[in-house]
Structure 1
């Protein structure tokens, strides 16, 4: 138990916010949830084995509900004679992110029913994933996403990644003959459904689906970091603080790590450590992780795309590095 406790408001019900609340309560802090209702609508998440282990270690239970298990990942990165293809054993699970957070919220409320009650007095800290303006964004790429039916006999235990001249595409079996098709492109898309259909038709994934997704959305997906994820009175976690390129496959794990670091920082402040240096430390840890992620993107994307359309994205990853060392904004 800490020698002093903080009153912390958790503004949101995402995976990072709920995990931060769970960890703070375990250390004896007063926590209240604002807007505890999980977001509506399915959100398929592909969780690799390391992320599953991290979830289990943090929550002390098997956190998955109605998941679809995968056993392999097949990757063909690049095009033409230079393409590198591999099929690797890679256990993973596909879970509805909305149902997962609903399950964890129920576990949290059952163990600590007071989190849903009003705590007297203003909170000392607010934890949220709802980042305000003030981000560094490395590029302008978008992710197209839509669901479709798998072709008869298609492998439902293997996730597949392939490249075309303009995009990389990822096919994730969801179970029950359904699949999520995603395509990363180097900019916005005016007609995402039509573009996703064309990209699928020109890829090696086309035979795996009965047809292209009937509807698709385009989501901004370039790596992004909040300039000041921690200031006295507020800590940003999850995608509000840092967002990785979906290619990394570690977005959920990174969101959980921000929750762990935020909870540790808040606990240290509540027990007497100065706020300013800890906020600086939190920010520097996220900047270091973001810098390493951009370096990975800058190395991987040129291996797959010779198209001039992708040059902006590669340059954006390289240009952001000086900003993360504190050389100014430009």
Structure 2
């Protein structure tokens, strides 16, 4: 099917569906390539995600996409990371600039950006979200739809999810025992790993990852803090908790004629990597470059879609390879983690036969200033 041989308006209509980071980043990235879009989502809805630690890459990408938004006054500046992982008896302290802030704060700021406020917004009531038929009718006028929300994926596509694992993240905030420093902490324990970072005043982000869906997650968090010889000594009282599934997955296909998946609608990364935010931003930027190339006739339709799929799949494979190394170093093949490691190796074994073709595809083009150019 040749998209360009159809009778299309001069300016193809584009919709972005979602209300989170990847949706807002998609709007901004499309604006960077001169493409306007409609945003379909509830921009009044709070984020239920955990607080974030944005690394320097995330800050740089956010600055490019949202140049009128400054995060400096809304987060806590970090300079180092303290790491105690695996069998090492001595923790390491490494330089790592970052900014800790709540996910609600970040989304509120980005929703106030010029590029988002300048977009045509179709609000959706999150208390009464549209059913599949209503959403399909709403999206019918658009020639390209960017899906940043798993709840609104088109039902006519035969989706498959390559993932597995039962691990969850238990997240909360707590009180710092002493004045906050400028360091975030990550520590592997016998059966879990623990992360903490100062957030503001004497408040801290506290997160633990456990390899199963616990019926008593707050108890699991307290046990992790009690076992900790590093982070536990920094934390006093903790607030109510929230739990999130955190096993990685990839949804396939990642794009097709008339649509793209971005962010967690496409791929979920394990939080141990700290790469979830950069991936959400990069996938939006790559989508905008591919779509603009296709619509500008600089990029063949099939080649553009294939490059997007290959680039994201390559990133996912690299991510899983890193995660398996991290978890094997921390937990070996302990009983509670063996199934999690097995799931990741199983995904890699399925994807590896495609690897040489993926590597070939991603080397055909490179991203330069929001434009895909032939290598």
Same fold (TM over 0.5): yes
Q: Are 2:148 and 1:129 aligned?
A: yes
Following the alignment from structure 2 to structure 1, what is the Cα–Cα distance between the partners of residues 304 and 66?
25
Match of 2:255 among 227, 230, 238: 230
Following the alignment from structure 1 to structure 2, what is the Cα–Cα distance between the partners of residues 8 and 317?
35
Give the drift of 1:30: 3.2
Alignment gaps of 5+ in structure 1 = none
Give the drift of 1:198: 1.1
**Structure 1 residues 114, 46: CA separation in 2 closer, same or farther (over 3 Å shift)?**
closer
Equivalent residue number for residue 98 of structure 1: 104
C-alpha contact (below 8 Å) 1:137/1:224 kept by paired residues: yes
Equivalent residue number for residue 302 of structure 1: 328
Q: Are 2:36 and 1:30 aligned?
A: yes
Q: How many equivalent pairs are there?
A: 320
Alignment gaps of 5+ in structure 2 = 1-8, 124-137, 154-158, 355-375
C-alpha contact (below 8 Å) 1:46/1:94 kept by paired residues: yes
**Structure 1 residues 215, 72: CA separation in 2 closer, same or farther (over 3 Å shift)?**
same
Equivalent residue number for residue 58 of structure 1: 65
Over the aligned positions, Cα root-mean-square deviation in angstroms equals 2.5
Match of 1:139 among 158, 161, 165: 165
Following the alignment from structure 1 to structure 2, what is the Cα–Cα distance between the partners of residues 158 and 169?
14
Q: Are 2:197 and 1:178 aligned?
A: no
C-alpha contact (below 8 Å) 2:41/2:122 kept by paired residues: no
Following the alignment from structure 2 to structure 1, what is the Cα–Cα distance between the partners of residues 346 and 47?
37
Following the alignment from structure 1 to structure 2, what is the Cα–Cα distance between the partners of residues 209 and 121?
52
Match of 2:94 among 78, 84, 88: 88
Cα offsets for 1:154-199 (capped at 9, x unmatched):
x432111111100010012111111121111112111111111111
Equivalent residue number for residue 113 of structure 1: 118
TM-score, with normalisation over the residues of structure 2? 0.79
Equivalent residue number for residue 52 of structure 2: 45
Give the drift of 1:125: 0.9
Give the drift of 1:39: 3.0
TM-score, with normalisation over the residues of structure 1? 0.89
Following the alignment from structure 2 to structure 1, what is the Cα–Cα distance between the partners of residues 47 and 28?
24
**Structure 1 residues 5, 322: CA separation in 2 closer, same or farther (over 3 Å shift)?**
farther
Following the alignment from structure 2 to structure 1, what is the Cα–Cα distance between the partners of residues 139 and 319?
41
Give the drift of 1:241: 0.9
**Structure 1 residues 309, 210: CA separation in 2 closer, same or farther (over 3 Å shift)?**
same
C-alpha contact (below 8 Å) 2:85/2:91 kept by paired residues: yes
